[in-house]
Amino acid sequence: MKRYSEWLQQTVFVGPGLLFFIVIVFIPFLLGFYYSFTDWNGLDMDKARWTGLHNFELIASDTNFWNSFWFTIKFTVVTVIAANVLAFLLALVLTKPLKTRNILRTIFFLPNVIGGILLGFIWQFIFTKGFSTIGELTNLPFFNLPWLGTPRTGFWGIVIVFVWQTAGYMMVIYIAALAGLPKDLLEAARIDGANYWQLLRSVTVPMIMPAITICLFLTTSNAFKMFDLNLSLTKGGPGTSTQSLAFNVYAEALNNNRYGLGTAKAMLFFIGVSIITITQVWLTKRKEVEA
Partner 1 sequence: MERRERYSAPILVLELAAALLALLFLTPFYFIIANSFKTLGEILINAASWPTEYNWDNYSKVWKQINFPLVFTNSLLITVFSVAGIVLISTMCAYRLVRRPTAFNNLLFNALVASMIIPFQSIMLQLVRVTSLIELRGHMYGIVACYLGFGLPLSMFLFHGFIKSVPIEIEEAAVVDGSSPYGVFWRIVFPLLSPIIVTVVILNTLWIWNDYLLPVLVIGGNKNLTTIPLGITKFFGQYTKQWNLALPGLAIGIAPVIAFFLFLQKYIVEGITAGSIKG
Q: Which of residues 180-199 bind partner 1 (CB under 8 A)?
A: 183, 187, 190
Residue type present at position 153: T
Write each residue from 27 to 66 as x if it is in contact with partner 1 (CB under 8 A), else as -, in one continuous string. Answer: xxx-xx--x------xx-x---------------------
Distance CA 143, CA 244 (A): 25
160 SS3 class: helix
User: What is the distance between the alpha carbons of residues 73 and 79, in angstroms, rounded to a whole number?
Assistant: 10
CB 253 within 8 A of CB 41: no
Reduce the DSSP state of residue 39 to 3 states and report it: coil
Question: Which of these segments, 51-59, 66-74, 112-120, 150-158, binds partner 1 (CB under 8 A)?
Answer: 112-120
Q: Could you give the CA distance from residue 78 to residue 160 in angstroms, rounded to a whole number?
A: 10
Terminal alpha carbon distance of the chain: 52
Given the complex with partner 1, which of 32 and 146 has the nearer CB atom?
A: 32
Question: Dihedral angle at the C-alpha atoms of 19, 21, 25, 27, nearest 10 degrees?
Answer: -30
Q: Which stretch binds partner 1 (CB under 8 A): 61-69, 110-118, 145-153, 282-290?
A: 110-118
With CB under 8 A as the contact rule, which of the stretches 50-58, 148-156, 248-256, 282-290 interacts with partner 1? 248-256
Q: Considering the rule CB under 8 A, would residue 283 count as an interface residue with partner 1?
A: no
Cβ–Cβ contacts within 10 Å for residue 52, how many?
9
Using the rule CB under 8 A, give the single segment among 68-76, 197-205, 274-282, 283-291 that binds partner 1: 274-282
Which region, judged by CB under 8 A, interacts with partner 1, from 69-77, 150-158, 170-178, 200-208? 170-178
Q: Which is nearer to partner 1, 52 or 184 (CB)?
A: 184
The SS3 assignment for 37 reads coil
Site for partner 1 contains 116 (CB under 8 A): yes
Total residues at the site for partner 1 (CB under 8 A)? 92
Restricted to residues 2-31, the positions that interact with partner 1 (CB under 8 A) are 5, 9-10, 12-14, 16-18, 20-21, 23-29, 31
Contact 170, 218 (CB under 8 A): yes
Please state the separation of Cα 223 from the chain's center in Å: 3
- Binding positions for partner 1, 64-103, rule CB under 8 A: 90, 93-94, 96-100
The residues pairing with 38 across neighbouring beta strands, listed in sequence order, are 50
Q: How far is the CB of 171 from partner 1 (least distance, A)?
A: 10
Give the span between the Cα atoms of 154 and 100, in whole angstroms: 35
In the complex, minimum distance from the CB of residue 256 to partner 1, in angstroms, rounded to a whole number: 12
- From candidates 126, 178, 181, 185, binder to partner 1 by CB under 8 A: 126
Contacting partner 1 within 206-235 (CB under 8 A): 210-211, 214-215, 218, 221, 224-225, 227-228, 231-232
Please give the Cα distance from 254 to 257 (Å, whole number): 5
